[in-house]
Amino acid sequence: MSYFEQIDKEKLPSHVAIIMDGNGRWAKSHGQERIFGHFNGVEAVRASLKAATRAGIPYLTLYAFSTENWNRPKEEVEALMNLLVETIINEIDELDRNGVRLCAIGDTDQLPDACRTQLFRGIERTRSNAKVSLILALNYSARWEIVNAVKTIGRSGISEEKIDADLVSNSLTTRDFPDPELLIRTSGEHRVSNFLLWQIAYTELYFTDTLWPDFNEEEFYKAVVDFQHRERRFGKTSEQISPSAQTDKVR
C-alpha cells in the first residue's frame, strides 16, 4: 500500500514546515557544482506542494533562504536569488490555477530588488486563493523574528501584565498562520537551525536521510503517516489524551 493510501484524512496536520537540506551534497554526489543541487531542489518543492495539495494540508512553509545563508559564496547567493526569481516567474500561473496562495516570512526588505518585485507580484496575484498557502521563509531567522516582535511590543507601550503568549504569537511574521504540527528536515541533519523556534514548541519533528532533491511526493506522505502514528500529549498524560491507554509512555 502506498504511503498516500495510508494517510488518515481525519488526522491531517494543518501546517507542515520543511527545512530543505542536502542540495550541495546531492550535487557533489552527481559530480556537479552546488547550484545544480538547488536547481534540482525546485522539483522537490513542486512535489511537496503537490503532495500537500493532494492530501488537503492547507499550510506549507519552506525554509528557502536563512539570514545566515548570506555568508555563502557570492556566486551561490546570486544563483539562489536568480533561481527564486525565475521559479516564481515560471510557476506563478500554475500556482494561481491550483488555488495556491503565495506568502513570505522573513526580512524581505533586504532581498534584491528583482526578487522582491516578483515575490510581491506573486503574493498580490494569489492573495485570494484559499486551497493551500505556500509560505516561503526568505532571509528568515527565528531569532531575528523574535527580536523584532519584542521591539514591536516594547514600542507599543503595553503594560507588562498584558504581555502573554498570544500577544507574542501575534507579533511574529507568522501571525496569520497556525503553528506547524509537523517539521520535516531532510539530509540526515538533526537540527532546527534558527527556524520557527517559537512556533515549533509542540511540533512533531521528522528527520530523513533523503537529500532534498530526492524528496518526492511519497516521501512527503511517509512523513505525514509517521506524524499520524505519534501520540501528541501537549504536556498531559497518555490517559488524559486517550482514557483507554494503560501505560504512560516516556515523554
Active site residue 21: yes
Strand pairing category for 182-185 and 15-19: parallel
The footprint of ligand FPP on residues 202-231 (CB under 6 A) is 212
Return the closest-CA partner of residue 223 out of 104, 66, 57: 57
Is residue 139 at the binding interface for ligand FPP, with CB under 6 A as the rule? no
Using CB under 6 A, pick the residue from 7, 15, 35, 38 that binds ligand FPP.
38
Rg (CA), the chain: 19
- Residue nearest to ligand FPP as judged by C-beta position: 24
Q: Is 148 strand, coil or helix?
A: helix
**Catalytic residue, candidates 8, 69, 148, 179:** 69
Q: Residue 25 or 50: which CB sits closer to ligand FPP?
A: 25
Q: How far is the CB of 52 from ligand FPP (least distance, A)?
A: 13
For the question of residue 69 being annotated catalytic, the response is: yes
Q: Which of residues 150-179 bind ligand FPP (CB under 6 A)?
A: none
| Residue 141 binds ligand FPP (CB under 6 A) | no
Q: Read out DSSP for 95-112?
A: HHHTTEEEEEES-GGGS-
- Closer residue to ligand FPP (CB): 7 or 18: 18
Interface mask toward ligand FPP for 14-33; x: CB under 6 A:
------xxxxxx--------
Report if residue 106 touches ligand FPP, rule: CB under 6 A: no
- Alpha helices by DSSP H, listed for the chain, are 3-6, 23-29, 34-55, 74-97, 113-125, 142-156, 165-169, 217-228, 238-241
Give which of 144, 143, 126 is closest to 135, Cα–Cα: 126
Identify the three-state secondary structure at position 185: strand
Number of residues that bind ligand FPP (CB under 6 A): 20
223, amino acid identity:
A
> Which spans of this chain sit near ligand FPP (rule: CB under 6 A)?
20-25, 34, 38, 41-42, 45, 62, 64, 69, 83-84, 87, 136, 187, 212
Catalytic residue positions? 21, 69
